[in-house]
Amino acid sequence: MSTPNSRVPPGSDDDRAARVALTWLVEPGNRTVWSMVQSHGAPETVERLMRGAIPDGALQAAVLARAGDFDPRRMAEETLRRAAQLGARIVVPADDEWPRRVDSLAVLELDSPGHINLNVRPPLCLWVRGSWPLGDALERSVSVVGARAATGYGKQVTGDIAYGLAEHGWTVVSGGAFGIDAAAHRAALAAGGLTVAVLACGVDRPYPAGNAAMFERIAETGLLISEWPPSSEPLKHRFLIRNRVIAAATTGTVVVEAAARSGALQTMNRVLALGRPAMIVPGPVTSAMSVGCHELLRANPGATLVTGLPHVLETVGRMGEYYAEPARGPEHRRDALDEESALVLEAVPAKGAARPEELATRAGLALRTVLRRLSLLELAGLVERRDDGFALPRPSPDGSAGREATR
């Protein structure tokens, strides 16, 4: 760690270790700690907390009680070493793969001052298991959340929506719980899509254990992420702290079933406060599992009633910051590309195919960026995947190009 007078560059080993120490000392999202990190950097913040040099007495007492005889620097180093053995990495705001949307929590203001609203600021770091770059995985993503005690109806509707989102190239984000969350993850996996579980415990011990096989599949093809260091327990209050990340990291959020006063309602209040699309699936008024959904729709003119995938795509499609709606022909689709996608597309040879590694070299981009862009370009019908790499689609007899014409 640094001394008080030396600022440590963000993203350095010291910065990472300090952020790990901070999430071990104080629950993530803490307003005071986050502000101190913004002003003084993470290492300096650790020093001040350990020295007892902060004005917030309650926070100071909690930190010292938590630290006890432990040295936070050594704890952090030990945690980072263990995480590496487990195949988990830490991502901090200075990293390319940091998911920028979560930083909008920096200015989130909530009406009710309740205890849990103290923990509403952006994450200091995120632990990740899985190989996709985190930011890319969340770029076009939709949260699908709801009741643990979901009904058959809720799980069916969730499955339809999540499967369709994955088919359309959207990452499905949820909390890994039983019920709606698991139905969302499983449908995305079944569609061969990308899914991200945002956990309220360590990524080495995803909760609940009953979903262990599902979590392994998510770690293999998608991502398990958490603000808490490996081996952290899923304490009850952590789910509410976690929910703000589900709300802030994605383009929009769908709630499928929710009982009165459930956690999904709190997630949706975050979504609404952030001005993101808040999509609610109604249900039978005779079902206790839809009471919360109907409450949300009655209380929030800004919430959108959705009855299935078309409404969800219509809603989040409007928000697409990086990717336009499918247009009429390949020329229109090309025009709508972001710069990186355009570079990748230009690198694809006019005849024959090229492997992603070659394309990365030609385009001057990182391999992971190229992989992500290729996946989107393929969905848009602008490239096609072959045994020997990626190629432009073969023109159809009438001169147009596109997946319709070539498959």
Positions in the binding site for its own copies (CB under 8 A): 153, 156-157, 281-286, 290-291, 294, 297-298, 301, 304-305, 307-308, 311
Tokens matching residue 291: 């009471």
User: What is the nearest approach in angstroms of its own copies to the Cβ of residue 179?
Assistant: 17
Name which of 156 and 396 has its Cβ closer to its own copies.
156
Alpha carbon distances (Å) from 199 to 168, 228, 260, 334, 336? 25, 8, 23, 37, 35
Tokens matching residue 192: 């061969």
Nearest 5°: phi and psi at 123? -60, 150
User: What is the nearest approach in angstroms of its own copies to the Cβ of residue 151?
Assistant: 10
User: What is the nearest approach in angstroms of its own copies to the Cβ of residue 306?
Assistant: 8
CB neighbourhood size of 54 (10 A): 15
User: What is the nearest approach in angstroms of its own copies to the Cβ of residue 253?
Assistant: 17
Tokens 């024959």, located at residue = 352
Name which of 293 and 383 has its Cβ closer to its own copies.
293
Name which of 66 and 311 has its Cβ closer to its own copies.
311
User: What is the nearest approach in angstroms of its own copies to the Cβ of residue 141?
Assistant: 22
Beta bridge partners of 145: 255
Provide CB contacts within 8 A for 360, sequence distance 6+.
Answer: 366, 367, 369, 370
Alpha carbon distances (Å) from 242 to 195, 203, 238, 264? 17, 13, 6, 11
What crossing angle do the helices spanning 367-379 and 356-363 adopt, rounded to 10°?
110
Tokens matching residue 178: 């039983």
By CB neighbour count within 10 A (0-12 exposed, 13-18 middle, 19+ buried), where does 5 fall?
Answer: exposed
Name which of 137 and 289 has its Cβ closer to its own copies.
289
User: What is the nearest approach in angstroms of its own copies to the Cβ of residue 323?
Assistant: 25
Tokens matching residue 138: 């969340």
Alpha carbon distances (Å) from 189 to 166, 173, 193, 341, 381? 8, 12, 6, 25, 22
User: What is the nearest approach in angstroms of its own copies to the Cβ of residue 292?
Assistant: 11
Name which of 33 and 280 has its Cβ closer to its own copies.
280
Measured distance CA(195)–CA(361) in Å, rounded: 28
Name which of 243 and 290 has its Cβ closer to its own copies.
290
Name which of 87 and 308 has its Cβ closer to its own copies.
308
Name which of 135 and 159 has its Cβ closer to its own copies.
159
User: What is the nearest approach in angstroms of its own copies to the Cβ of residue 307?
Assistant: 4
Tokens matching residue 247: 């709300």
